[in-house]
Structure 1
Amino acid sequence: MSAVLDAALRPGGLRAVYQPIVHLEDQRVVAHEGLMRHAHGSMTPLQLLDLARVAGRLGELETQAARMLVRSFDFERGGRLLVNLSAHAILQDAFRPQQIIEGLQSAGRDLSRFVIEITERDIVEDVGRLADALGYLRAAGIRIALDDFGNGHSNFELWHELGPEYVKIDRYLIHEIAESPGRLSIVRALVQVAESLGTDLIAEGVERMQDLAIIQDLGIRYAQGYLLGRPSERATDAVPDDLRLASREKLPVWPRSGRRSAFPKVTAAHLLIEAPSITDDASNFDAEQLFRQHPDLQALPVVDGSGHPLGLINRRVFNERMAVPFARELLGRKPCIKLMHASPIMADVAQSIDAMSEILLGEDQRYLSDGFIITRDGRYAGVGTGEALVRRVTELRIEAARYANPLTLLPGNIPIAEHIARLIDAHQPFTAAYCDLNHFKPYNDQYGYFRGDRMIRLVASTLLRHAEPQWDFVGHVGGDDFVVLFQSDDWERRCREMVGEFNAACRALFDDDDLARGVLEGEDRAGRYTTFPLTTLTIGATQVTPHRFCTAEEVASQAAAAKRLAKRLSVGLHVLDAAEATTG
């Protein structure tokens, strides 16, 4: 290993590659990160750095790499150069600030053309000392960047105390951000922190157009990744052609997590109560003794010889059976399985609370009195109480309902208003479509809420099927009211297809007699017998141009007016024109 390190430190032992960093607003290459590679072996840069660290030569290796990167870089084409230095080497006095300055000056360039990326794979215990060392570099005109934020040991203390000009958001947070509500929430928060601290963000690991669209929408100014350019031996001033063609004509729809956002990591294991069990060959007297020893135990799990659950003995039912005259004499010595409930409600420790909510919807309500068994690899692990499950699921649904409709899981009023505001602030043209069912109340009154819910879910699935998920936002206001915010150019065709498909599919939700008559029979609001047409879908749409509206409320009001006019005209789709909007 020592020989490998010696070879890497000799002239020509390292080679340089450079990866472009793009300014997203004008799609221009403004900088490159300089990266070292082992010139004569297969050892990765991280392996080489670890080897140098163990040998106490990390500062020597990083200084050699910095000089090599500076000598090979084309400053005329490449913009600024970002050079990696580890906080560990700086704090271990492996090199002095003046050494760094002299190494960078060897390129004969103004030091403002350089950015030092502080990398750290260990916790920095003396942040103040690191900030003092970097102060010498800053005084010479060198800028500072904090690398890999969101992974490793880069943290808010380093950010706050070092005051870097740039913070690079780690690939972990950027890759697939277009499908991850969690990553999106974290990066949104980092954007706010950066704005308050006056820091520019650089998104690392950008490999997909949909992720790039989200990053641009968040206002992150710089990006780096394979989509924008791979590491190369030569600096470049060009971005890929397909990236230049992809202009910001539309605003991406942010990913939504629905009801799972409240407790994404809460599982049955978090409800587990360690409780005794009893084997299937034990007697009722043995069960009685365990109930006496554990007065808070509501149900006693019964397991076989391998620990697999067989059933639950409910405390109340057991005591009532044993209290019957002569029951102790007749049942006491018999196997406890005679008084157990077979087929207990069970959940694996890894099962999420969201998935367990299905227990509350089932016909078997024994969980309220018996609780349920929690298993690990199919064997008994503990019990959970119905009270704890109901409480956690209720909290989840209350929290989620603020942002998503609990029936369809589509975004609710708050996200709808937020997305309209984003479109208005970005001066983005779009079409607001208000979708509503005709004669849904008579249907709900006649068939009941269960089939009514099926029809509501049919509306949701139909709208989603015909919307472009990356650009068209589908929200559920409540009841049978939905909103679609279109950026698709062919929004009118999509609306007509939504109406046509729903009106055909919903016929399967009516009884044959009603379909044959073509009407529903019932009472109107005054209590008089009357007939109602079969339920259909109506969409009212209004086109929103830049600067036409100032608030989400104004847009919602116009879309609702378009919907009312569509229902009055008894048409599937009506687009509110300027004259109607004025008179309305």
Structure 2
Amino acid sequence: MSQAQTAPDAATSGSHRGAPGLDASAPGRPYGATTPASDPSASRPYGAAVPGRDVPPAGRHSGAVQPGFEMPGFDIPGTPGRPQFIPIIDLDTGGVIAVEVIASTIGGPVAGVSGTVNGVMAAAQEEALLPLLLPIPVSAVLGGSAGLAPLHEALRATNRRPREVILVIEGDVSPGDRRYLLAGIEGLRAVGYLIAFGGLGSSHVPLELVADASPYVILISQDVVERGPRDPRRSGLAESLVTLAKGIGAHVLAPGVRDETQLGAVRGWGIRLAQGPLLAPADWRPSLGHSHVHVPLPLAETTPANAMLGPRVQEFLLPAVTLPIEASAEDVMSALSSEPSITSIILVDEYQRPQGSIDRSRFLLFMAGAYGHALHARKPAHRLADTAKVVPKTTPAIAAMQVAGRDNARVYDDLVVVDEVGRCMGIVRVGDLIRHVADMQGSH
């Protein structure tokens, strides 16, 4: 599972992806996904908002809990069952691109979607703007839309969009439940949620089910991470899961990394996203404001001999901050002010197709000029937008760099990654492509 796709095309990270993007993102959010035409507001991995619906009233930021909303059983931070916040780290950059929230129900084990709802509310109280990874049991997905209503309501009450949430399906799947689980996943995806599977490598989840579900992120089992460095069989299992993920267009997240040996193994398997005590302390919280961590080992990325053009841009996907094409320059200013790591705003139409790109530096410089704010704040932002540099998700890294270099004045503008029907999945930063290609050439 950055800023797209995003928690790293999370957002990490897949014809229906979007951010993370590992929306690395959120609000600083890692790895993006597509959104049905019926929900034009379903993409805001970094705090962007839709006027008239998602712009919070004065004095209340995006992510704040609306007055009067209470979720029964929510665990208040600071009590013995306080929620746990685990940052998702992009090992290439050290950036925190998403946050996994594990929250329990007071008085007993989590039932149904209660733990997932508690995670949403905990993130709101912590003012977490990054994309969220929230565990959800298989039984809750099998239960149908009625049982998921509290989750939808919690997101509405906290001014979150489904596209900002990666639901990590956990638990064993029986053969008889396969069809119903896929139907439930499609229902969640239609609303806008990003889908992930947890515990692969030790849980009873058929790999052909994972392939059919085409998740945005897969989380390998913590047991595989722990035993992989000293057990060739576990290492081979991890490599096979990474190969599967590349084939279905998913990001891979390695949880529970505790030492440098495990981190070296994770990098050797080709995994870019990780979490664990080695990368962040147990008391890490979004409110501390630490958006980067120190990655102990040097990057050692392997390059397939038959991939001289580099990997697909989807592997570098970060969540895009999107606003509707009708948004005003003031809306853009508000979104940029909410998170300093945002480098661009993508203007999209009602079908989430990119219509323009606003570079942070040029926009702020323009607005800071004489009468800039007074003349343009309440006018449509697309007047100040550039043409989006669009690349399909299957574009190789070298080809994407060629697209970036066509306009000398905008060489370092973010590239906008789209799916098969032209919907925005997230962004790719040119600097990430340059760094990877340089490493690839050096290895040869």
Report the TM-score, using the length of structure 2 for normalisation. Answer: 0.47
**Which structure has the higher relative contact order (CA within 8 Å, separation 6+)?**
2
The structure with the larger Rg is: 1
Where is the strand percentage greater, Structure 1 or Structure 2? 1
In proportion to residue count, which structure has more helix?
A: 1
